[in-house]
Each structure stands twice: as structure tokens, then as C-alpha cells.
Amino acid sequence: MAQGLFVFVILFSSLSVYALEGSDILEKTLLEKNQEFISLQKKVESKMALSEASRSAFYPTLNAVGGWGQNRTDDITATEKGYLGYIEGRLNIFRGFKDQTNSDQASIEVDFIKLELESKKRELRLQLTEAVSNMILLHKFEDILEEELKVTQTQRQMAARKVAAGLTGSVDNLEFDLRESEIQIEQKQIHQQHQETHQIFNKLFGEDITDIDLEKLDFSNAGKLSNLTTQLKIETTLDYQKAEIQQRKSELDRKAANADFLPSVDFTYSAGRITPSDESPMKFNESRYALLVTIPLFTGFESYYKIKSANFISNSAEKLTLQKRNDVSADFAIAKTKANELTELFQINENKLVLSQKYFDLTLSEYKRGIKNSPDLVSATERLFSSKKKKFELLKELELLKVKIENLIR
């Protein structure tokens, strides 16, 4: 019961986790429309129904029995044959604790499939974050390239005036023409990536998401993304819980296999025509009750090999749980290291962006005065806009990394 409550808390704790600015509605829509997620929800309902069904072993059963039969003894003349029909009730009193074990196994299956559902939810959230981040980045690049193209065209006009005045050679025009062509190539590539990203939305949602809706989304504040300091509690991580549940399940499998060697005790009561008879009309005036003990004597070594198999699986699950503990710890350490690195890179690039803007302004001023040449101005311009693009590339990486860390620790 405690495990089930813990799984319930895990499933709903993610409602308050971090998300891209404006992506909450999109994430909700994804969970409503993604067929794989819906399929897993149905599996959860199926496992819950099976869990309820497993409890039926604790209740008595009632059956109607009828047919033709024959009872024979050493005295041939005392043979009884004919039709029979009766109502039989049966109550299991003891079955080597197998009923409780089966019920526990069914309950664990429910817990496990709920964790699988949460894993899928987190996987979809990461895929959505990646697709949305890609689209935001492409939109940012489109704006930056458009701005850079306009700046380059303005610079080319300046160069044309200098060439016309005889202050410089025609190579100045070629320098800016070349850079303009390079920008146009980048724009074509961005457009192609834009179309490909729309196909990813088709795959996730079963339909496309319009640019109008996507343009409302944006990267989170850099301060939020930089605040990645958090602690890891391995026992509460999703992967470790799944491994631990598998270990518990293997232990129950071994317990169920051992129960095959234990006797079972049933109480039965029958009423009707129990003894075969060819009387007409048939009299339903008999009753019988019994306390039956069934002791397994030989099962063709099936029980022996089932226990042997269960022991191997239990040992394997135990090792896997230990390995999963190490994996989760290592993955978290790697993610934290990368987060610190990206945060530092972002700050360095912010400083570089300020310096690039100053360098661009000075170079442009000196170009107008004839101190700098066109390659200097093209280089300064390209460096400035490269820093602008790098800023959003780092924001995208931080967005994805934050989701990965949250998926790992929650």
C-alpha cells in the first residue's frame, strides 16, 4: 500500500516541474493525443483490473455441476451409473500462501506499469522540449540571419560608394557579395531544418503545430536555466524504483514457486444429485461436505526447475538493482558537470557578445574613415552575429539538460 501511494505521488509531482516558457498547454495536448501514451494508460487500467481479479482467490466459488457418470467398486452388482447434477461450493483455506503471493505480484505489476507510464510521460516531455527548442532556435536564427543580411547589404552599399569615389578597389564589393551569399545559404539550410522539425511535431501529435502557435514559445530566463543546483536521492529516482520493483517481483516469483511444494486445504459443500442415477424423475436429495487436503507428491520436476529458475532471476534482479544505483549516480554527476560547464560558457559568451558589439562598432567607424578594410568589417560583423547565435544554442542545450536532470531526479 505504501509503495502504491509513493508511485501516486511520483506520478503527480511532475505537474509543477520546470517547462519552456508557454509550453504547458502544448505538453498537455501531447499527452492527450500521443497514441503510445494513451496505449500505456489502457495497460495501466488492464493491470489494475487483473490486480482486482487476483483477490478473487480469497473468496468462495459456487458452481453448477451436471453430466453422466459411473461409480464402481469390487462388487460389480453395486455399480452406480446414470445422470447427476448438483451445486458445489468451495472455499480455499490454505494454498501455501500462493494466493497472497499472486495478489502481491499483481499489485506490483500495477506499480511497475504506472512507473512505465511516468517514464513515457517524461520521455515525451523531453522529445517535446527538444522539438520546441529546435523550433525556437530556428526562429531565432531566422531573425538573426535576416538582421545580418540587412547589415551586410547596408555595408555593401557603403563599399559601392567608396569604390565609385575611387577610395578602394572593386574587391570590397566582392567581399560583401560573398558574405551575402553565405548568409543566403544559411537561410536555406535553416528553412530545410524548419520543415524537418515540423515533421517531428507530426510524429508526436499526429498532426502539425502551426508556426503561429510555436512563435508564442520562448526559451526560459537564463537565470532559471543557470539555477540547476539540486540534490540526488537515488531511492526516489524512477529508474531505481523500477529496478527495485523488478527485484521484489522476482522474490515473489521464488516464493510462489516454493508454494508448489506445500499442501493445500479446501472446504467443499455439494447439494443435489451427487450419486449417478438413472431414476426418473431424478431426486435431488443428497448433500456432502468435506475438508480436503491435497499434498503434491510428484510434478515431473516442474516445481524443482521453477524454483531453480526463480533463484537465478532473483539473483540477477538484485545485481541489476545495484548496477542501476551506480548508473543513476554516474548519470547525475555527468549531467551536473555538463550543467556547470554550459552555465560558464553562457556567461563567457555574454561577455564575448558585449565585446563583439564594441569591436563591431569600432571597426565600422574605422571602416568609414578608411582605416579598416572590408575583410575587417566582414569579420567583425560575422563575429558579432555568431555570438548572438551561440547565445541561443547554449540556451537550447541548457533547456534540454534541465529537463534531463529533472527526469532523472524526480
> 294 pairs with which residues across the strands?
264
Q: Do residues 289 and 90 lie in contact, with contact meaning Cβ atoms separated by under 8 Å?
A: no
Residue 202 has pLDDT above 60, yes or no: yes
What percentage of the chain carries pLDDT values higher than 70? 92
Is the residue at 253 inside a domain? yes
Is the residue at 296 inside a domain? no
Is the residue at 249 inside a domain? yes
Residue 138 has pLDDT above 90, yes or no: yes
Q: What share of the chain is helix, strand, coil (3-state, %, to 5)?
A: 70, 10, 15
Residue 228 has pLDDT above 70, yes or no: no
Q: What pLDDT was estimated at residue 10?
A: 37
CATH of the domain at 168: 1.20.1600.10
Q: What pLDDT was estimated at residue 16?
A: 36
For residue 60, say if its preceding peptide bond is cis, omega within 30 degrees of 0. no
pTM over 0.75: yes
DSSP H or E segment with residue 12: helix 2-13
* Separation CA 255–CA 307 (nearest Å): 8
In this predicted model, what pLDDT tens digit does every residue of 365-387 receive, in sequence order?
A: 998 888 888 899 999 999 999 99
Q: What pLDDT was estimated at residue 226?
A: 62
Is the residue at 235 inside a domain? yes
Is the residue at 336 inside a domain? yes
Residue 19 has pLDDT above 60, yes or no: no
Residue 34, C-beta contacts closer than 8 angstroms, at least 6 positions apart? 124, 204, 205, 206
Is the residue at 204 inside a domain? yes
Is the residue at 41 inside a domain? no
Q: What pLDDT was estimated at residue 7?
A: 37
The residue that leads in pLDDT, 224 or 349, is 349
In this predicted model, what pLDDT tens digit does every residue of 303-333 receive, in sequence order?
A: 788 888 888 888 898 898 899 899 999 999 9
Q: What pLDDT was estimated at residue 22?
A: 65
Residue 4 has pLDDT above 90, yes or no: no
Residue 394 has pLDDT above 70, yes or no: yes
Domain of residue 235 covers 126-261+302-409
Q: What pLDDT was estimated at residue 101?
A: 85
What percentage of the chain carries pLDDT values higher than 90? 42
The residue that leads in pLDDT, 232 or 16, is 232
Q: CA dihedral in degrees (376, 379, 384, 385; nearest 10)?
A: 140
Highest mean pLDDT among 16-25, 173-182, 255-264: 173-182
Q: Identify which of 338, 144, 132 has the alpha carbon closest to the alpha carbon of residue 220.
A: 132
In this predicted model, what pLDDT tens digit does every residue of 216-227 receive, in sequence order?
A: 888 887 776 666
Q: pLDDT-based confidence at 274, cuts 50/70/90?
A: confident
Is the residue at 13 inside a domain? no
Q: Identify which of 138, 126, 125 has the alpha carbon closest to the alpha carbon of residue 197.
A: 138
Phi, psi of 165 (to 5 degrees): -85, -5
> 290 pairs with which residues across the strands?
268
> 67 pairs with which residues across the strands?
84
How many structural domains is the chain composed of? 1
